[in-house]
Each structure stands twice: as structure tokens, then as C-alpha cells.
Structure 1
């Protein structure tokens, strides 16, 4: 199976590490991954306490629930380095590194965290123009499992608006680099909690571009994201028919339900059925 589909996709819920009262909801809202945040949502004077609360989250997470994860602080800060040292003891399954602009950031995180019996998934948060320029190099890091797009920081740095059209170039570059590297790509949150239609539309656009999931900033956003990234029955039926036709005829081109399909269609159909199988497990 492709690495893209073995990595968790769909809806990821992000919760501040200091908001312990929200942890239970994060575990039960149906998200694929529950991400505890040590970075933007935590004031500098509260970083030590946030690490303690995050450790409590990892200690109490049920195996049947979402994948427990943590967003640390940037590795160019003392807080980020302290996060790595603390996490080496607590061993969360997935670590998101923000403000990544070089593959070296991934190498540093892996060097500190990896040990006998523990090699967490390491993901990069791509949120600066320099990171977009270096995307192909960053995503080639051997220990990198996936990438996030950080729309808010990217827009703030570039002066762009946070609209889909304004950030389409950055998203397209990242989605293409992720596909080339064989890693998963998760889209930025949709920050308007009252606009479910807008959330659904943006999630569908992200999926169409090649992203494998999207972040939720509130549990109420999880169902719309999950639905947007789940193949429809019609899509699955067509994909299975294409895969079956290739297996039955062995031909490079075939007629499936009135559509002429070739090698790219077979590859896309196979990827869709693999993704659906992974989401069902």
C-alpha cells in the first residue's frame, strides 16, 4: 500500500494542551487524529504546564480512539527543544513540527525522539514562503510521514488573504510535492465555526487537489470533513469497476461504463480503493 494511504487522513481535531476539559470530546468526536497543541494556543509562561497536561492526554488515550498526536513549538525556540526532550519520555505516536523550512528540522526531531522501540510519525507544518519554495527538499526527508499546510501563518507572512483562491498556489505546490514524495498532506483548518457549507466546500476542494485530510478546530467540524474525504458509493463503484476491468482484460485501455480508461485511470482507481480500505479499518 502507498505510504500516502497508510498515514492517517480525514479529520484531525486540534485541542489546546491546557484545555484538559476538552480532551474527552477530542477522543470521542470521530476524528482520525486528536492533536494536542503546545504552540500557538499556549502562552510562553505556560509552556511547562502545557507539557504536563499533554503527557496526561497521552497516558489516558484509549487504543480504539483517534491517534494521539502533539504539535510542538518550533525547533528554533527553546520551548521547541524542551518539547522534544519531554516527548522522548512520553512517547506520543505522532509529532507535528511547526515552522519547518528545512529537512534538517525533521532530522533533528528524529535524532532526539527515535529510540529502541519508539519511532514516532514525524510531520512537518509548512506555513512560510521559504518552506513552499523548499517543499520538495523538505518532503524528501526519510523520516517524514506527512505535511500540514498552515494557511494562517502563510497568509500573514505573505500579506495574502485566507481565501481559497489566494492560497491556491501554495496548496497546489504542497500537494504536488507530497505526491512526488509519497507522503500524506493535511489541509489547514477552516476558521469560521458557523459556516458549515464553506467548510464542506473547502474540504472538497482540498481533496480534489490531492490533500488526504483537513484539520478541525472544533468537534462540530469533524462530520463535514469526514464526509468530504470519504469516497462516495458511486466513486467506489466506478473505481472497483476500473480495477476489475484491468484485472479481467489486462488491457492498457478499456471501456468501463462508457468511459475510455487507461493507465492513469487505473492508478487513480487503485489508490481510491486502497484509501477506502484504510479508512474502513
Structure 2
């Protein structure tokens, strides 16, 4: 069965602490396609309510240049329940809700049941960051309101007691991309945690793109431009895709070759998808 992907998200996703209003404008102006205000890991327990109050200002900008969202606390926790109550009272509401610690479709359904109204149905994304979540991926992907998934590498590595290297997390990344693609939704890779090594960021972003991720998280505004540049199709990639599409038309979508490479139906499908994305 062929699935139709949800609307495309941004390539770069940036998250900023809910208790740092001074950083809100920089996050929104970073060039990221999605900017999230965080109520979860970056906020200490005793500061949760203050963060909920401060975070309202994140959504008060009517001309924001990107999709605005919030990472709430896990919906099955007391703080998550308090987040949902607070969000229902926001005058300006987030376009997107990132649901952390997602381990079942019910987590997504719970958030939707509280927040959805006739006039408001936010995009709901799951943060996949535990071995249990990976065991339950097929059922999580069947949640009707799920818009996409993000890899939570730090929590996953801490639980598994493995490193944060690319090789250590390759299985998890591959499994997430595979399940997301089967469900017709996009997957966003975890951030690169080094704030200053932009070469390392580019290298990891290139690897994530090659693996099938649609974009990547950022933890500093300077990272957004590198992510956008890496995930955007290059002129060479676009030209090659157009050549494949043209060759497919000429051959009646039969097996042929382009630049010495044998190509057939899977190559035509991928090239057509890229050309459609570029041409809008």
C-alpha cells in the first residue's frame, strides 16, 4: 500500500528553554523551519510552572518566520497533565506539539483528546527516545494524529548505556527512518550536541540525510544554516534527478542508464520525488 506523507516540516528544528525569553527571538529568527520552546528537560521541576507562564510569549508573535511549537512534558506524568491544562488556556497556541517519552499510540491520542477542538488541531510529533518505544514503533506509527517523529539520542543512549557516536546509534536511527517511511511520515534526526564544531555537525547531517532523515535538530541558532544547507538538494543532485526523469520518459520507464549507472523503477521514483519537491 502506498502512503501519502504529511505536509513537509522544516529541515532544521531548534529548541530553546521556556525560562529564557531573551532567547526566543533568536531561535525564531535562526532560519530553522520549526522553533520549539521547551517545558521538559531544560526546566527544573521547581521551575515548571514559571516556564509555562513564560512560554506563552513564544507564541505571541503574529509574523513568526517559522512553525512554532512546544516540547511538553510526557503526557502520562503530572507535569505533562499540567502542561496540557496550561496549553488549553494560551491565547496564542502552538502550531506543533512535540510529545516526549512517547512509548505508545495512546500517548499521542491522549494529547489530541485534550487539545483538539473544532478550531484547533495542532500538529503532533513523537519524540522516540527509549528502547520500549523502538519495540512499539509499528503501533506508535498507527496513531491517526501523528505528524512525524524525532530521534531522542541522548535519552536513548543513556538508557541503553551506549555512546552517542554515529555507529553506536546507527541501528536506532535506521529503525526509526524505516518505520516512519512505512507510515508515510517524516523523521527528524537528533541534534549534534557540540555547540562549536560545525564541521562535525555537517558531517553528521550528511550521514543523516544519506540514511533517509528529512532534517535534523539544532541546539544553537548557528547550527540551523548548516542543517538547511546540508539537507537542501544540491544543484548536482537536482540535475542528476532531472536527467533520470528524462531518461525514464525516453525509455518508457524501462531499465536504462544515466552517466554509466543502470537505473530502473526505484531510481525513477526517487528522482521524480526530488523534482516534485524542488519544483513545488
> Taking structure 1 as the reference length, what is the TM-score of the superposition?
0.94
Residues of 1 paired with 2:250 and 2:67: CA distance? 38
Q: Is the 8 A contact 1:67 1:93 kept in 2?
A: yes
Q: C-alpha deviations, 1:152-174, integer Å up to 9, x for none?
A: 00000000001000010011100
* Cα deviation, residue 61, structure 1: 4.5
Establish whether residue 32 from structure 1 lines up as the match of residue 33 from structure 2.
Answer: yes
Residues of 1 paired with 2:183 and 2:95: CA distance? 21
What corresponds to 1:193 in structure 2? 195
When structure 1 is superposed on structure 2, of 172-181 and 50-59 the one drifting more is 50-59
Q: What aligned pairs does 1:145-224 form with structure 2 within 5 A after superposition?
A: 145-224=147-226
Matched position secondary structure for 2:75: coil
* Cα deviation, residue 5, structure 1: 6.8
* Cα deviation, residue 238, structure 1: 0.9
Q: C-alpha deviations, 1:72-116, integer Å up to 9, x for none?
A: 001121110111122233331100000000010011111111111
Q: C-alpha deviations, 1:41-81, integer Å up to 9, x for none?
A: 11111111211222111112524x01001000011211101
Residues of 2 paired with 1:93 and 1:3: CA distance? 21
What corresponds to 2:84 in structure 1? 84
What corresponds to 2:47 in structure 1? 46
Residues of 2 paired with 1:7 and 1:92: CA distance? 17
Matched position secondary structure for 1:192: coil
What corresponds to 2:16 in structure 1? 15
Matched position secondary structure for 1:271: helix
Q: C-alpha deviations, 1:174-218, integer Å up to 9, x for none?
A: 010001001110111111112111111111111111110111000
Residues of 2 paired with 1:4 and 1:32: CA distance? 17
Please tell me the root mean square deviation across aligned C-alpha atoms, in Å: 1.7
Q: Is the 8 A contact 1:27 1:61 kept in 2?
A: no
What corresponds to 2:235 in structure 1? 233
When structure 1 is superposed on structure 2, of 104-113 and 239-248 the one drifting more is 239-248
Matched position secondary structure for 1:6: coil
Q: Is the 8 A contact 2:253 2:268 kept in 1?
A: no
Q: Return 5+ residue gaps in structure 1 as ranges.
A: none
Is the alpha carbon distance of 1:70 and 1:272 closer, same or farther for their aligned partners in structure 2, counting shifts above 3 Å?
Answer: same
Q: Return 5+ residue gaps in structure 2 as ranges.
A: none
> Taking structure 2 as the reference length, what is the TM-score of the superposition?
0.94
Establish whether residue 56 from structure 1 lines up as the match of residue 57 from structure 2.
Answer: yes
Matched position secondary structure for 2:60: helix
Residues of 1 paired with 2:158 and 2:8: CA distance? 29
Is the alpha carbon distance of 1:3 and 1:41 closer, same or farther for their aligned partners in structure 2, counting shifts above 3 Å?
Answer: farther
When structure 1 is superposed on structure 2, of 241-250 and 199-208 the one drifting more is 241-250
Is the alpha carbon distance of 1:30 and 1:71 closer, same or farther for their aligned partners in structure 2, counting shifts above 3 Å?
Answer: same
Establish whether residue 72 from structure 1 lines up as the match of residue 78 from structure 2.
Answer: no
Residues of 2 paired with 1:277 and 1:26: CA distance? 28
Matched position secondary structure for 1:176: helix
Aligned residue pair count: 277
